[in-house]
Structures are given as C-alpha cells and as structure tokens.
Amino acid sequence: MNRLQSVVILGATSAIATAVARELAEHGARLFLVARDGERLEPLLQDLRVRGDDASGTRILGTTADLADIDAHADVWAQAREALSDNIDAVLLAWGTLPDQEACNTSVATTLEAIHVNGTSAIAFLACIAPDFEQRGRGVIAAIGSVAGDRGRQSNYVYGTAKGMLATYLQGLRNRLFFSGVDVVTIKPGFVRTPMTEGFNRAGALWAEPDTVARGIVKAMRRGRDVAYLPWIWWGIMTVIRLIPEYLFKRLKL
C-alpha cells in the first residue's frame, strides 16, 4: 500500500483531477497543485483548503504553469519538492486536451500540437522526475491515459496516438522503476462526464461521473496497480476491441 499523504497533481483543474484532489484533501493529505489558469486554480485551492481543514493554507498549495511548455518542467518540479518538503508520495499527471479529429485531418500543425500536449509533454515531465523517484526508492507515479490509446480509430486516432505513446512509455518506465520500488500506474478512463466531453451525446450506461473515476484512481494509486481501466468494464470492452482482426477493424465506422 502506498501512502498518499503528500501528492503533486498536474493539470489539477480538470474535472477528474479535481475530484481526486478533493478525495485526498478530505483524507488530510498535503497537496501541490499545478494548473495553467490561475483564475480557475485559486477557487479550487480555496475549496480544497475548506475540505482539508487547512484554513491557513499551509498544507494545500499550488502554482500556475503551462505544462505543454517543457522548459517549465524542472522549475515546477523544484517548486513541488519545496512545497512538500522534499517528501513526495505520489504524482498524478492529468493535463491534456481532446483535439478535434476533423481539424487534425486537415492540419499537420493541429495534429502535432495535440500529440505534444497529450503525449510528448507528459513524457518529458516523466523523464524529468523519474531519476528523483529512482533515487528515493519509493512512491507512485500515475498518469491519465485513455482507452482511446488501445487502438487507433478514425474518430479520434490523433488523441489515441498520443495516449498510446504515453501508455507505452509508462510501460517501460514501470519496468525500469520496479527495481527501485517505485510504482507506475497507467489510468485508462472510458467515457467520463466532464467539460472535455461536453459536446457529446452522453446518454447511456457507459458514461461515468468524475468522482467515480477519481475514487478508482486513488485506489489504483494506493495499491500500486499497473494498469487501471476505469470503470473496470472498459477492460472487457477494450479486450474485445483489441482482438478484432485489423482487416475487419478497418472496415468499421468507429
């Protein structure tokens, strides 16, 4: 069981990350939150301080940074270490955007930008922090991938490519850090009712609430699970989808 007493959350104002932060704050954790938009970060910090009985704001801290900017990573990590007195139990990477596949289809720049925000920038951050964890010999690194990364489909394969790349990187990192006692957790949510999916038709039993997914994330991080499909039903769905032979799959409108 990993302790989750001091946790860094990157991309903290996303609906899923916010729900994770609330759950941890309610259990008395020390948190360091990073988000791009200060106007959204401040009210979230305030909310977490009330939930975490931290009126003076000494345990729940944060900073603004654009995590797509790789040059900012070292500084963000230094701030996090300082805020949590160099005693970090866990890190959760949760930033990302859902690109418009149609727009990607006609623009190389949009495609590469989406892959950078969802894939390369996350890998850069992981590469930056991995030596620290390796040296310390404990802790958990978790990152939010997606079921979309399990197989490329015409409707969102640019996003899927980035998340798939991230998943493969995490696999390798998990293998590398295993020997120093660090857990690496790949989170693969299915459909979640968040602002990211606002334009979708969200009727149906497969849509999950952010707090349900957040509870699953916290549990997976505590247990040091390797890969967590959330909710678990997506493990079955994606197993079937992965097993469809390519010569059939390419004919499907998915």
Partner 1 sequence: MTTSWNRIPRVAHAAEVTLNRRGQPLPGASHPLLAYGLGRSYGDVCLNPGGSLLHTRDLDRFIAFDPDTGRITAEAGLTLDDLLRFAVPRGWFVPVVPGTRFVTLGGAVANDVHGKNHHHAGSFGEHVRAMTLRRSAGECLEVTPDDTPDWFAATVGGLGLTGLIETVTLQLVPVRTPWMRAWSQRFDSLDEFWELDARAEREWPYTVAWIDCLNPGPRGEVGRGIYSGARHATTAPARSQYREPRRAIPLDPPVSLVNRVTLRLFNQLYYRQSVHPTARAVHHLPWLFPLDAIRHWNRIYGYKGFYQYQCVLPPHAQKDGMQALLDAVAASGQGSFLAVLKRFGDRAGPGMLSFPRPGATLALDFPERGNETEHLFRRLDHIVQEAGGALYPAKDARMSPDLFRSGFPRWEEFASFVDPEFSSGFWRRVTK
Q: Footprint of partner 1 on this chain (CB under 8 A)?
A: 15, 39-40, 43-44, 46-47, 50-51, 53, 55, 195, 198
Burial class (CB in 10 A: 0-12, 13-18, 19+), 216: buried
Cα(179)–Cα(134) distance, rounded to whole angstroms? 9
DSSP E strand stretches across the chain: 6-10, 30-35, 60-64, 90-93, 140-144, 183-189, 227-230
- Going edge to edge, which strands form the sheet with 30-35? 60-64, 30-35, 6-10, 90-93, 140-144, 183-189, 227-230
Nearer to partner 1, 100 or 211 (CB): 211
Q: Are 68 and 112 in contact (CB under 8 A)?
A: no
Nearer to partner 1, 54 or 183 (CB): 54
Nearer to partner 1, 40 or 215 (CB): 40
Burial class (CB in 10 A: 0-12, 13-18, 19+), 168: middle
Q: How far is the CB of 36 from partner 1 (least distance, A)?
A: 14
Cα(39)–Cα(46) distance, rounded to whole angstroms? 12
Q: How far is the CB of 43 from partner 1 (least distance, A)?
A: 5
Cα of 126 vs its chain's centroid, Å: 12
Q: How far is the CB of 64 from partner 1 (least distance, A)?
A: 15
Q: How far is the CB of 46 from partner 1 (least distance, A)?
A: 6
Nearer to partner 1, 33 or 177 (CB): 33
Nearer to partner 1, 171 or 197 (CB): 197
Q: How far is the CB of 118 from partner 1 (least distance, A)?
A: 21
